[in-house]
Amino acid sequence: MTRNIAPINNTENHPLSKYYQFQSRIYDMTRWSFLFGRRQLIRTLPIPKKKSISILEIGCGTGKNLIQLAKKYPHAEITGIDLSEEMLQICRKKITPYQGRISTIKGAFGEVTFRENFDLIVFSYCLTMVNPGWDRLIDQAKSTLKTGGVMAVVDFHDTAVSGFEHHMAGHHVRMDGHLLNVLPKKFRQHEQQIAKAYFGAWRWFMFIGYKKP
């Protein structure tokens, strides 16, 4: 049975929870066209497919990555946490075929305490939306990761178009390269890529690193 741990903290008044009350309805229809690099991140993960690992995706949204992770790692135990009930409702339907392997938790990471030490933590287009608090979230994720475990991040990087930066700020997204200033300092880098979207309208990045001993 899929282990959905139903509301363990109250997130209804969180600004992102309110934002996704509507956005969840159009999320899967629209995000394929601008949240680039998600499949590539999972393809690039340096952990062998046959390993029995525990994986946490923080801000799992509607579950696209959870399913890709379950396909790549058939022996993995996968947990997704998200603060938006509306996003999780869509996610729970999608992960039904993976009952027992993928579980979801409703809550804001940082307020929810995890006993488990994970082998892999994924942040996919989550950290640029955590303003303020993205740096604290990285530190909290790091403390939840096993030593030698993998931190994998894909997200917006920056834009030279100030109107676009302003537009994205209206969608809670910060796009000024701040994450790549910090991630390589906190983790031993395995992979880093920065790529242009729509001929340079913005850039997105992928970072994979190991937790140092």
Minimum separation from the CB atom of position 188 to ligand SAM (A): 24
**What is d(CA 158, CA 130) in angstroms, rounded to the nearest whole number?**
16
Task: Give the CA distances from residue 4 to residues 56, 67, 106, in Å, rounded to whole numbers and listed in that order.
Answer: 14, 15, 8
Beta-carbon contacts of 164 under 8 Å, excluding residues fewer than 6 positions away, are: 175, 201, 202
- Comparing CB distances to ligand SAM, the nearer of 29 and 50 is 29
64 binds ligand SAM (CB under 6 A): yes
The CA-based angle 162-169-127, given to 5 degrees, is 115
Is 136:110 a contact under the CB 8 Å cutoff?
yes
Minimum separation from the CB atom of position 126 to ligand SAM (A): 4
Alpha helices in the chain (DSSP H): 15-30, 38-44, 64-72, 85-94, 134-144, 162-169, 178-186
Binding to ligand SAM by CB under 6 A, coded x per residue (else -) over 133-172, reads ----x-----------------------------------
41 binds ligand SAM (CB under 6 A): no
Minimum separation from the CB atom of position 103 to ligand SAM (A): 14
- Comparing CB distances to ligand SAM, the nearer of 58 and 95 is 58
- Comparing CB distances to ligand SAM, the nearer of 53 and 137 is 137
Task: Give the CA distances from residue 73 to residues 22, 69, 86, in Å, rounded to whole numbers and listed in that order.
Answer: 32, 6, 27
Joined together, the tokens standing for residue 72 give 């790549």
109 binds ligand SAM (CB under 6 A): yes
- CA 209 to centroid of chain Cα atoms: 15
Number of chain residues interacting with ligand SAM (CB under 6 A): 25
Positions 167 through 196 that interact with ligand SAM (CB under 6 A):
none
Interacting residue with ligand SAM among 55, 67, 69, 108 (CB under 6 A): 108
129 binds ligand SAM (CB under 6 A): yes
202 binds ligand SAM (CB under 6 A): no
**What is d(CA 142, CA 144) in angstroms, rounded to the nearest whole number?**
5
Q: Contact residues for ligand SAM (CB under 6 A)?
A: 16, 20, 31, 35, 38, 58-61, 64-65, 81-84, 87, 108-110, 124-126, 129-130, 137
